[in-house]
Amino acid sequence: EAKRGGRRRHAFYTAAMGERIRERNEIEAELREAMRTGDGLDIVYQPCFEARSGALIGAEALIRWQNARRGAMLPNQFIPIAEECGLIETLNEWVLEQACLAAARWPAGTISVNLSAVQLRNATLAERVFSILKRTRLAPSRLELEITETSFLDSSEKCRRNLGWLRDVGVRIALDDFGTGYSSFKHLAGFEVDRVKIDQSFVSTIEPGRPGSPVIQAIVDLARVSGLETTAEGVESEQQRLYLTSIGCDVLQGFLLAEPVSAAQVEARFIEAQAGA
Ligand code: C2E
Ligand code: MG
Ligand code: MG
Ligand code: MG
């Protein structure tokens, strides 16, 4: 009896797994096709603001994919697949080049681009970034690369060297989703990054009845004594904005301030801000 149940369960899991694998392979094929034709792939830009003054200081490039069969797909639904099947470097370099081109048209501001761990392990990363900066004529100091803590975990020599070369020419490095990984504080103490982005999961704990967060306070304090800037991600309420500003968080990003928009819209906001100043 147990044996028969076990076999049936086994058959069930196999079918479900088979279905998942098939869908994953389909998405992979569709992504290859989208990358070949450029159809459906797009980049949006979420503005970032200085907390104290409210001034626009830059934007983060976020990839979007309008899949012909599945509709709008979010990065979390296809970036992991691109990483698994070796498409991520080409995809991310496309994002990087488009983002740098866009930012080069803005009168000011930093462009932030997300990197994958795979890219950090590639010994040619820094060189490729330099050539994109040259082609797009963007000053290195206007580029910030975001890496997650997990990419640091296997901090190979290659990864370290890449980051060193990039920082030497003025490209800035931000630690994304800070606090969600395992070895966060070690990296802050090592001064290998310029900015810490406090993950939205901490920011969202600030709510009516819980107006402060000792964790965020600790991250901001530690960043300050380490000479790093802080950005809070996912700021959705006025209460969060006020609290984060009051404890000295430098930069705010979130739907309260601005949703992701087109490159031209960011440009228009910069021009507007300059005219108003
Ligand atoms: P991330 O780098 O932490 O980006 C922030 C995510 O939070 C974005 O989601 C953004 O739309 C969302 N967000 C911003 N403000 C708010 C808010 O106030 N409330 C809420 N609920 N969400 C907010 P998105 O675009 O879905 O991106 C998810 C993740 O996918 C990114 O997290 C990043 O790790 C990755 N990603 C996005 N674009 C790229 C890319 O071009 N290359 C790579 N390798 N990864 C990317
Ligand atoms: Mg990011
Ligand atoms: Mg983030
Ligand atoms: Mg995040």
**3 alpha carbon to ligand 3 midpoint, in Å?**
47
What is the chain's Cα-based Rg? 21
Query: What is the per-residue pLDDT across 73-124, written as a single tens digit (0 to 9) for each?
Result: 999 999 999 999 999 999 999 999 999 999 999 999 999 999 998 898 888 9
Cα–Cα distance, 147 to 162 (Å, whole number): 12
What values do phi and psi take at 116, rounded to 5?
A: -100, 155
Ligand 1 pocket member 95 (CB < 6 A) = yes
* Residue 169 and residue 132 in contact, taking contact as beta carbons nearer than 8 Å: no
Among 26-40, 139-153, 214-228, the range scoring the smallest mean pLDDT is: 139-153
- Mean pLDDT computed over 40-45: 97
Among 166-170, 197-201, 222-226, 259-263, the range scoring the smallest mean pLDDT is: 222-226
Q: Percent of the chain having pLDDT more than 70?
A: 90
HSE of 210, CA atoms in CB hemisphere, 13 A: 10
Residue 149 clears pLDDT 70, i.e. is over it: yes
The DSSP call for residue 254 is S
pLDDT band at 153 (very low <50, low <70, confident <90, very high): low
Residue 3 clears pLDDT 60, i.e. is over it: no
pLDDT at 74: 94
Q: Which of 254, 196, 202 lies closest to 225 in space, CA to CA?
A: 196
Other Cβ atoms less than 10 A from the Cβ of 138: the count is 21
Residue 4 clears pLDDT 60, i.e. is over it: no
- Mean pLDDT computed over 237-262: 98
For the CA of 79, the nearest ligand: 1
* Cα separations in angstroms, 232 against 111, 205, 229, 239, 253: 16, 12, 10, 13, 6
Ligand 1 pocket member 79 (CB < 6 A) = yes
Residue 2 clears pLDDT 60, i.e. is over it: no
**200 alpha carbon to ligand 4 midpoint, in Å?**
6
- The model's pTM is 0.93
Ligand 1 pocket member 112 (CB < 6 A) = no
Ligand 1 pocket member 234 (CB < 6 A) = yes
Ligand 1 pocket member 176 (CB < 6 A) = yes
Phi-psi region of 177 (alpha: psi -120 to 50; beta: other; left: phi over 0): left
Ligand 1 pocket member 62 (CB < 6 A) = yes
Query: What is the per-residue pLDDT across 168-210, written as a single tens digit (0 to 9) for each?
Result: 999 999 999 988 876 666 666 665 889 999 999 999 999 998 8
**230 alpha carbon to ligand 1 midpoint, in Å?**
17
